Amino acid sequence: MTRKRCFQEGSLFKRGTRKKVWVARWWEPVIGPDNVPGRIRRSEVLGSVADIPTVRQAKQMLSDLLRKVNCGDFRPQAVWTFRSFVEDCWKPVLYPTLKFSSKKFYDNMIDAHLNPVFGDTQLRLITKDAVQSFLTAKAKSGLSWKTVKHIRTAFGTIIESAVRDELLAVNPVQKTRLPRQGPVKERAPIDSESVTDLIAKLADPSRSIACLLAMTGLGIGELLALRWQDLDLQKGFLSVRQTVYEGHFDEPKSKRSKRCIPLGPKCAEIFAALKSAESVPSGLVFAARNGSPLSRRNLLNRQLKPVCKALGLTGVNWHWFRHAHATLLDSVGAPIGTTQALLGHSSSEITREAYIHSVPADARRVVGDVENLIGPKRTQIPEWPEMANALIN
């Protein structure tokens, strides 16, 4: 049987000697870590006696504070700390449903950023102002805007779970704003010459990996999880069945990610060159000496990044080659539906908005085509000195 909530009037008293202030106290219902209802003593300074000279004014302010507690739809908040809620309530429910890479993402956000600041703070005491100050400090510390966005996303997801469990009334993280995004580093332009030059400078196995990524549009995790039984070099196609992240194999991201991709002659030649007499159907195409999958991080730091630095290419990682594949498909006139199917995207909007970039040569060509359609003939354009004088006068 639910205990009936009693109407509270609270209590008032003055505190201080030289500068006295009004202090209000009342009992507030809460939910303990064991989900047992309880109550805690709350107190709050209303203001100085000089600003609130009469008891009547102080009682009116106390009554305003207690209105939310005395109303019929008041929901008790939790006294869980952020750390205890995450470890004892949130992770046990959510983590069994997540991929390994998603678990690593949340673990990094929680351990490196959220727990050091909010770990010992009760959920009910996490305010919008505290979260906003936290995000601003993270941005000023030198973290990228994208990283700050990831921190806010993870934080908001956890707090929203507490709201759904009726441990909190509102999600303060949703009321915050991301700091202003500063200048974004330019990525290396995507065109066939840039991709070809970069691949040519790489050493194997990164050269073969980069070439296959650019020509098939596979993700790096999909390519490193590829096994010989997933290839049919005679018919010219491969099947995407798995992905790998830091040595852990998992299902692809979505249903559309499980797909068959046609192989051109050059891709078939690369795979044929990689295959040896010792290759077994269940073996990985790209494997370390002990048979385990190669580390994308080691390949990136030891082979790809040094070559990119020498060539003056910025913003290039393994995912850049997947973007290059989509962009080059668009430049040769591939329909958006075909590109979406090859990349395994769930919607064409993702393909169009995030993966297809302008190729410089194509941009120059189409701008010239537009000028030819609507621009005046050269004989109709005044010489620059005459135009300049006309503008000045």
CA distances from 294 to 132, 286, 290 (A): 40, 6, 10
pLDDT of residue 42 exceeding 80, the answer is no
The region of weakest confidence among 121-125, 252-256, 374-378 is: 374-378
Alpha helices, DSSP H, located in 231-383: 265-274, 296-299, 305-311, 318-331, 336-343, 348-350, 360-374
Alpha helices in the chain (DSSP H): 55-70, 82-85, 91-94, 100-109, 115-118, 128-140, 145-164, 192-201, 206-216, 220-224, 265-274, 296-299, 305-311, 318-331, 336-343, 348-350, 360-374, 384-392
* Count of structural domains within the chain: 3
Encode pLDDT of 157-177 as tens digits: 999 998 888 778 789 999 999
Residues 113 and 242 in one domain: no
Contact 159/170 with Cβ under 8 angstroms? no
- Residue 86 sits in a domain of what CATH number? 1.10.150.130
Flag whether 209 is in a domain.
yes
Alpha-helical (H) ranges within 244-343 are 265-274, 296-299, 305-311, 318-331, 336-343
Alpha carbon separation from 97 to 82, 94, 113, 225, 253 (Å, rounded): 21, 6, 23, 21, 13
Tell me whether residue 264 is in a domain. yes
Q: Which of 74, 103, 122 is the last residue of a domain?
A: 74
Residues 6+ apart with CB under 8 A from 103: 95
Query: Is 362 domain-assigned?
Result: no
How much is the average pLDDT of 118-132?
92
pLDDT band with cut points at 50, 70 and 90 for residue 257: confident
Query: Which residues have CB under 8 Å from 117's CB, separation 6+?
Result: 134
pLDDT in tens, 55-101: 888 888 888 777 777 776 666 555 688 998 999 889 998 998 888 98
**114 and 243 both lie in a single domain:** no
What pLDDT band is residue 375 in, cutting at 50, 70 and 90?
A: very low
- Is 167 in the same domain as 208? no
Taking residues 203-225, report their average pLDDT: 91
Beta pairing class for 231-232 and 237-239: antiparallel
Q: Check whether residue 66 and residue 214 sit in a common domain.
A: no
Q: Cα torsion for 198, 199, 200, 202, to the nearest 10°?
A: 90
Q: Give the C-alpha separation, 216 to 343, whole Å.
A: 8
Residues 199 and 341 in one domain: yes
Containing structural domain, residue 92: 82-175
Decide if 275 contacts 250 (C-beta within 8 A).
no
Residue 197 domain flag? yes
The answer to whether residues 221 and 293 belong to one domain is yes
Are 124 and 30 spatial neighbours (Cβ–Cβ below 8 Å)?
yes
What CA–CA distance (Å, rounded) separates 39 from 27? 6
153 located within any domain: yes
> Measured over all CA atoms, what is the biggest interatomic distance in the chain, rounded to whole angstroms?
94
pLDDT at position 327 is 82
CB under 8 Å to 387, separation ≥6 — which residues? 381
d(CA 41, CA 56): 23
The pLDDT assigned to 298 comes to: 93
Q: Are residues 219 and 342 in the same domain?
A: yes
Q: What is the pLDDT of residue 329?
A: 81
Please check whether residues 160 and 130 belong to one and the same domain: yes
Closest CA to 121 of 91, 179, 149, 162: 162
- pTM confidence score: 0.67
Separation between Cα atoms, residue 307 and residue 203, nearest integer Å: 9
Are 119 and 257 part of one and the same domain? no
Distance from C-alpha of 273 to C-alpha of 290, rounded to nearest angstrom:
20
374 belongs to a structural domain: no
Residues 203 and 270 in one domain: yes
121, 85 contact by CB (below 8 A) = no
CATH number, domain of 303, equals 1.10.443.10
- Work out the pLDDT band at 142, boundaries 50, 70, 90: confident
Banded pLDDT at 334 (limits 50, 70, 90): confident
φ/ψ (deg, to 5) at 281: -55, -40
Residues facing residue 21 across a β-bridge: 15, 48
d(Cα 52, Cα 50) in Å, to the nearest integer?
Answer: 6
Q: At what angle do helices 206-216 and 192-201 cross, to 10 degrees?
A: 160
Average pLDDT along the chain? 82
